[in-house]
Structure 1
Amino acid sequence: MSRPVFSFRPTLDDPEHKRAWEILQRVPNGQKNAFLVQAILQSEDSEKMVGIIRQVIREELKHTHFVSENPVQAEADEIPVQMLDFLSAMEDGM
């Protein structure tokens, strides 16, 4: 079975491509394949880890209750001033 061939042709006008090319150029000859394999696997593992972390956070937030430090509670019998002003204006208009 023949080995697959991969060709990397960066667009050096693209800052990310240029940066990747510069990093790859610093890798010694004979180690580029191992470097690329490691970089690809690390990227995949990082994406999986981010997904796991997000899932754990979602699960924890389901069981968390947030309370305001300064809860503002209107009295049950208290009518807001804005509502009284509105009703007064309605009365004057009739």
Structure 2
Amino acid sequence: QLSVSDLNYLQVSNTLFNFYYDIGDLGRFNKIREKLEYQVNHLNLSTIEELELSIKFNYNVCRYLWLQKNIEEAITKITATIKQCKEYRTTYLLADLYL
């Protein structure tokens, strides 16, 4: 389980990740994405906060892949995230993943 400060750091990083994409700073966006993706993929998802962070980050990545016209990778990641929601029996962002 992550400490509160570690979880807050990852949540803020996820927000910065979105911000840099929205302002078109793809260099910083990709740098944060690589670090955040590694950290999120190594979460043990033992708390609801960790699970929701993982789903939220994956949702954001799916969105940006779709916007960048990387449709196949977006669909693959969306499908994996939907499976994760089903596995953990959560509906967090589930409807958004189907859009």
TM-score by structure 1 length?
0.25
Question: Which structure has the higher relative contact order (CA within 8 Å, separation 6+)?
Answer: 2
The structure that is helix-richer by fraction is 2
TM-score by structure 2 length?
0.24
